[in-house]
Chain A
Amino acid sequence: MKTSECDIVVVGVGGQGVILISNIIGKAAMKAGYPARGAETHGMAQRGGSVISHIRLGCEFGPLVPPGGADILLALEPAEALRYGHYLSRDGVALVNTRQVLPTTVTTGQSIYPPLEEILAPLQKICSSVKTLNATKLAAAAGNLQTMNVVMLGALSRYIPLNEELILKALSESIPAKFLEVDKRAFALGKGEVE
């Protein structure tokens, strides 16, 4: 028997705004009358490390999405998409920002960052669909690079059982008013990209 309406895993690099996105989805879920559960990364790992946030819509159990159980993997960075790819379910969808962020292990020459195709190929084998977008470029077009996470939220909005109005309302409650216009533009660009 199903124990969650929709399980989402949001991944990226500390500082990219993973937690903000998960909070907006959770708040929007509440507005829709769904019970929601989330789990976040705080503390040490936030310092430029790999981060993961879990959100479960219509769920009243534990906050962690089980491996192999995510309906959606929202990746703000391509290598992180693959790192957490095992969370995807067979019917799951991966939404991946194609703009890489190099870890210091790569900038200092200890490791090599693989080409995008090699990152996406294993993901394409294990889930129903992998959608890619250059969310960082779209954020720049929206007027602020920092809105990359909101671009990805816009893309995600097409795949979750929450209406757009509620997501935008939760967004406006979660950010300073002065950023709302540029964030709305970013949201629309992200949504348009996966239509």
Chain B
Amino acid sequence: MKEYLLGNAAIARGILEAGAGVVTGYPGTPASEIVESVAPFAKKYDIHVEWSVNEKVAVEVAIGASWTGTRAVAVMKHVGLNVAADPFMTLAYTGVRAGLVVIAADDPFCHSSQNEQDSRRYAQFACIPCLDPADPQEARDMCIYAFELSEKLELPVLLRPTTRVSHARADVEVGQIEEERSNPEFVKNPARWVMLPVHARPRHTELLKKQDRIKTAFADAPWNRLVLRGDLGIIASGISGLYAEEAIKQLEIDISILRIGTFPPPDELCSEFLRHVTKVMVIEELEPVLEEYVERLARAQNPDLEIIGKRSGHIPREGELDSLTVRNAIAEMFDLQVEEVLSLKEAEELLPPRPPALCPGCSHRATYYAMRKAFGKDAIFPSDIGCYTLAVPMGTIDTCLCMGASITVASGIRFGGEERDICCSIGDSTFLHAGLTGLLNAAYNKARITVAILDNSTTAMTGHQPHPGTGFTVSGEKTKAVSIGALAKALGADFVETVDPYDVDATIEAFKRAKEFQGLSVVIAKQTCVTNARRAGVRRRPFTVNDENCDGCRKCVMFGCPAIEFDGESARINSLCSGCGVCAQICTRDAIEVVE
């Protein structure tokens, strides 16, 4: 049976078909839809699916399940694996019982990320096997294979899709969903599960011994495909292999190709290929993982081999590849004509930029407006990861590094000697993910800063996933709703106030009090995400501009709401207005009125 599936839905299908009993993860583009696509099946197939508080938690929960004999998977974006790196690295020592797959989705070109690190390096670092799918079909197939391989080697397996696999769509052949579950039981075995130094040392030896078994398992894996033709060759990893195949068909050239889907790559197959060719181009996105391997292997197999790729400057090490870039690199190798990338200079000259922006009626805009009013433009505004990072033009985003780094960087700026006011901002989901420890640290070490928690009761940027503050699980079941205010107090903040950012004056006053407070102050700006409110049926009356009162001062226009336009003389409110009413409070001429 074939279905037209998003890559992430295809991976979810693989998880279901493999019979995973525990599925964990934290939302992050481009990985979010994997857990979301499994969740609707949780009840029917008796699967524990959760949005974990963060990726470290997700991996640890999955580990516990695997050690109990239940197949488990932890899902995250590439940078999530940094958060989970601690359990991930030692997990390679302990190994697994039931199959355990870690999925880290990479984002070449940083479409929606703060960096473009290559997760294949993590697999190398941990000495575990890694699979690099080329398309949604392979992603589904590899997912099922990964569970089997994990059990065979008693090692975790890293599945590493990229944005163009996770967010690609294709017709995907799917199979039956596994309903059988083994009898779960945690079997005590301190030498395996208790990583005291005395146990860790032999487990490290054991891990090193497993390296040959990984190579044996990959020797005839179907994800590595060799076609020997002419004496020029291409070796390509993951989706780059598809780009190369397309180029070969377009250019109608006689060239050998080896497509790689496993790391480590298969030695024998690669040796055969390297002995056959006189010149090879290595094509892969991001880090030269395959290229370094080829260079090493060629020293023994074919020392005269000419190797081109990233080191030679033929393939970029940053950004993502596409079929034209790959086609041109191959054409150059054959002295064929390179296709110019047509650029439309008019587009660059004429077009206004259209960066992503906060939604019309977004409460974050109102919060930042009040923050700026209370603190002034001279204050320092460290921020964090979420929709609110889009408020850069408002002048209230001075830093954005990684999940949770707003409070800690703010503390460091204070301890580093900055005397001016510091007000950092962090979203509710990000606060619960990685902000708690930072706030605790700020309280403990007496950081004199203000922390604004922008609580819109959802993980908005990645597609509105629930979190521990919302009172709902990934499956929509009711659960404990953790109070962010009570948490902030418990972590040691002496000043904690909650305000509605749609009430502009009250929010400015709260920020002023927080600014004056001699110590750690927390302002929680609480208002439901405007997109979620609309979905829940909240309808507020829109606003309009009374031209008689408007003097064209543009105060409302500069607020930056997409619903407010300027026609040269006066402001206008367009059909995007969600009725938040903030612009009416900003207007000093009483020119903005509700539509009756």
Contact = CB atoms under 8 A, between A and B. Distances in A.
Interface of A: 1, 3, 13-14, 22-23, 26-27, 29-30, 35-50, 61-64, 66-69, 79-80, 82-83, 85-86, 102-114, 118-119, 121-122, 126, 145
B359 A48 contact: yes
Given A44-B356, A47-B357, A67-B342, A39 B350 contact: no
B171 A63 contact: no
B352 A79 contact: yes
Contacts of B242: 61-62
Given A47-B358, A67-B324, A85-B344, A113 B352 contact: yes
Contact of B346 (A44, A50, A62, A82): A82
B571 to A, nearest CB: 9
Nearest to A145: B575
A37 B168 contact: yes
Contact of B29 (A42, A67, A112): A42
Interface stretch (B199-207, B266-274, B449-457, B554-562): B554-562
A66 B560 contact: no
B560 A39 contact: no
B329 to A, nearest CB: 13
B169 A38 contact: yes
A47 B4 contact: no
Interface stretch (B12-20, B60-68, B245-253): B245-253
14 contacts: A13-B354, A30-B171, A41-B167, A42-B29, A43-B462, A44-B29, A47-B359, A49-B354, A61-B246, A82-B346, A83-B347, A104-B560, A105-B354, A118-B350
A181 to B, nearest CB: 22
Contact of B30 (A26, A42, A85, A113): A42
A46 B239 CA distance: 24
B490 interface: no
A80 B29 CA distance: 23
A5 to B, nearest CB: 14
A23 B169 CA distance: 8
Given A47-B390, A61-B245, A62-B243, A107 B564 contact: yes
A102 to B, nearest CB: 6
Contacts of A105: 352-355
Given A62-B239, A85-B347, A36 B359 contact: no
A43 B107 CA distance: 11
B558 to A, nearest CB: 6
B351 interface: yes
Contacts of A64: 164, 322-323
Contact of B323 (A13, A36, A61): A61
B168 A126 contact: no
B509 interface: no
A143 B554 CA distance: 34
B2 interface: yes
Closest 10 CB pairs of A and B: A43-B29, A43-B112, A49-B356, A111-B352, A38-B169, A61-B246, A103-B354, A122-B346, A47-B356, A66-B324
B319 to A, nearest CB: 13
B387 interface: yes
A26 B562 CA distance: 32
Contacts of A49: 354-357
A34 to B, nearest CB: 8
Contacts of B343: 86
Contact of A107 (B243, B322, B557): B557
Interface string B381-412: 00000010010010000000000000000000
Given A36-B4, A37-B168, A109-B566, A122 B355 contact: no
